[in-house]
Structure 1
């Protein structure tokens, strides 16, 4: 399947948004234009659309071994995270703090604050892996739910989910995880998580559909009310077009996962070997990581001009989380890992994906080398 990107753009920001699969979106759009009916309606046309949503719910239950009624569709990853944390407030009405990794997306911290939870951050170091002993100490001192993403959106580091699961169960606590970066990028151990989230725009399904998996069936889990859609967990007309895209793209991504990752690991090795030779530092290189992600400290100070130079050549990279990169703040993840603010401000993130080609990687490395020589 081909990307819609032209040769003028060489895209290396897949962790922010994966380019859409045009053939899938066009097919689903044609279906939507013909069958645009509100899935909450009473006609057979509406019921057909509701049936598509339920088939997608059934599909996600089958690939994760979860329960159908615990899957809720929403519009964005942020909304999905808010629903996940709202369920904590329902389960633990008097709880005031939650044990949280220092690597979460900003929406997760915002959701915790909105529902009255203080995040008790788990220690870490330059490996980018949480300190399991510190987690155990926190659970022993004050047993509480644990929120820890599976794969970091900046570093790509994969957290030790099996060990976290074991500790949370030892202390009788739930374990929630943001799977936005891990879903369809690596094999995810869904059974280890009591609740999780993922989103279509991270895998090439376009904007408009995200998923929350709730820890149990409970009518009080509700991100907002006003309608009985999504088993009353999320009021508002479902985006049948986006939900259908999410299902179809997931099928493609999972079917080709092993083959894709062999290619992306090769690209990752090529990129990092070349960048190290240029004086760059690869963050958490020895830790388990996503095969598509390299978080790099450049050996120059003029990162803003460097990024402009890359864009002028039609090459798009980022400085980290897309929700923070425009502000050019130092990555909080890196500061928690022990890097200085000056080092954090010299970072760029290179993330590849399904449509990345070898010639694009060559152009990326050639351009980086030219710009580093210019700014040094």
Structure 2
């Protein structure tokens, strides 16, 4: 499939949002326009729409090996993360704190605060992986649920989930994970997680559908009431169009995963080798990372002019997590890893995906090298 984009933009910000798969979204839109009925209605037409939602829930159960009833559809990744943490609060009404990685999305930390959990942050270093000895010490001192994303949205570092899972089970604790950057990018060992979240727009399914897998089928849990949708966990008419897109794009992404990642690894190597030659530092280069992500520190101070220079050439990269990029704050992930604020403010993220072309990669490399030389 090809991107629908008709402009000259060369897009390298897939971790913020994946460009939509046009044929899939157009097909789902056509289906929605012909069958726009409220899935919560009582007619056979509404029941057919509800059946489509349950079909997607069943599909997610099949690819993950987890129970259908514990999948809850919501609208955004932020909501999906809040939903996960609220379900944890219902399970543990008297729990004051949980063990958390220092690499979570800001929505996860916000959700912890909203539902009264104090995060106990795990130690790390410039590898970008959590300190397993520190995790074991914390669990031994006072066993608590552990929250750790599988793949970093900035660094792309993949956490050692097998070891993390083994430790949490040794102390009979839950392991919950934000899979926003891992889902449909790498094979995910779903069986190692008790609860997780992911979102359609991160894989090219457009905005409007995200997923939470609840760690327990708890009838008392409601994100908000007012209707019996989503097994009474989340009232409100479901976005049937977005949910349908989510399933169809997931099927496409998983079918093409090996082929795509082979190509993206080649792009990643090409980008990093060339940029290191002009003084860029590749963050966590020796660690296991997403094949589509390069997080680097530029050898220049004028990062804003650098980004503007790329944008003028039609090249889009980012400074890290999209939730914070407008604020131009130093990446908290890098600060926790031991980088200085000055270094963190020189960091940019390059992320590729399904529609990235070799000629676009070569153009990005050439323009970045020229701008670095010009601004040095």
TM-score range normalised by the length of the shorter chain: over 0.9
Residue 123 of structure 1 is matched in structure 2 by 123
For 1:203, the equivalent position in structure 2 comes to 203
Is residue 279 of structure 2 the alignment partner of residue 282 of structure 1? no
CA distance in structure 1 between the partners assigned to 2:312 and 2:189 by the alignment: 41
- Residue number in structure 1 paired with 2:141: 141
Deviation string 1:160-212 (CA, Å, 9 cap, x unpaired) is: 11111100011111000000000000000000000000000000000000000
Question: What is the distance in 2 between the residues matched to 1:168 and 1:221?
Answer: 24
SS at match of 2:83: helix
Aligned-pair distance for 1:221?
2.2
Deviations along 1:115-147, one digit per CA (max 9) or x if unpaired, are: 000000000000000000000000011110000
Partner of 1:25: 25
| Secondary structure of residue in 2 paired with 1:211 | strand
Q: What is the TM-score of this pair, normalised by structure 1?
A: 0.99
CA distance in 1, matches of 2:310, 2:270: 19
Find the counterpart in structure 1 of residue 38 from structure 2. Answer: 38
Q: Secondary structure of 1:218's partner?
A: coil
CA distance in 2, matches of 1:286, 1:6: 37
Secondary structure at the aligned position of 1:364 is classed as: helix
Displaced runs of 4 or more, over 3 A:
none
Question: Residues of 2 paired with 1:367 and 1:225: CA distance?
Answer: 52
Deviation of 1:91 after TM superposition, in Å, equals: 1.0
What CA distance in whole angstroms lies between the structure 2 residues aligned with 1:20 and 1:138?
Answer: 42
Pair 1:269-2:232 in alignment: no
- Per-residue CA deviations over 1:300-340 (Å, capped at 9, x if unaligned) read 00000100111110000000000001000000000000000
8 Å Cα contact 1:83/1:221 also seen in 2: no
CA contact (8 A) 1:77 1:180 kept: yes
Q: Report the equivalent of 2:181.
A: 181
2:304 equivalent to 1:309 = no
Task: Report the Cα distance in structure 2 between the residues aligned to 1:365 and 1:330, rounded to whole angstroms.
Answer: 24
Residues 1:298 and 2:298 aligned together: yes
Deviation at 1:223, TM superposition (A): 1.4
Deviations 1:95-123 (A, max 9, x none): 00000000000000000000000000000
Give the whole-Å Cα distance in 1 for the aligned partners of 2:130 and 2:223: 29
The equivalent of 2:12 in structure 1 is: 12
State the TM-score, normalized to the length of structure 2: 0.99
Matches within 5 A, 1:12-161: 12-161=12-161
Q: Deviations over 1:245-284 (max 9, x none)?
A: 0000000000000000000000000000000001000000
Aligned to 1:246: 246
Q: CA RMSD in A?
A: 0.6
Residue 292 of structure 1, CA deviation = 0.1
Aligned residues: 376
1: CA distance, partners of 2:196 / 2:285: 26
Distance in 2 (CA, whole Å) between partners of 1:85 and 1:38 is: 29
* Distance in 2 between residues matched to 1:160 and 1:264, nearest whole Å: 22
Q: What's the CA shift for 1:225?
A: 1.3
Q: Distance in 1 between matches of 2:321 and 2:34?
A: 37
Structure 2 distance, partners of 1:185, 1:275, is 24
Task: Give the deviation of 1:7 after TM superposition.
Answer: 5.1
Residue aligned with 2:290, SS: coil
Whether the 8 Å CA contact 1:15–1:202 is kept in 2: the answer is: yes
Cα contact 1:99–1:121 (8 A) shared by 2: yes
For 1:292 and 1:7, how far apart are their aligned partners in 2? 23
**Which residue of the partner structure matches residue 214 of structure 1?**
214
CA distance in 2, matches of 1:11, 1:281: 22
**Unaligned residue ranges in structure 1 (runs of 5+):** none
For 2:93, what is the secondary structure of its paired residue? coil
* Partners of 1:81 and 1:9 in 2: CA distance: 31
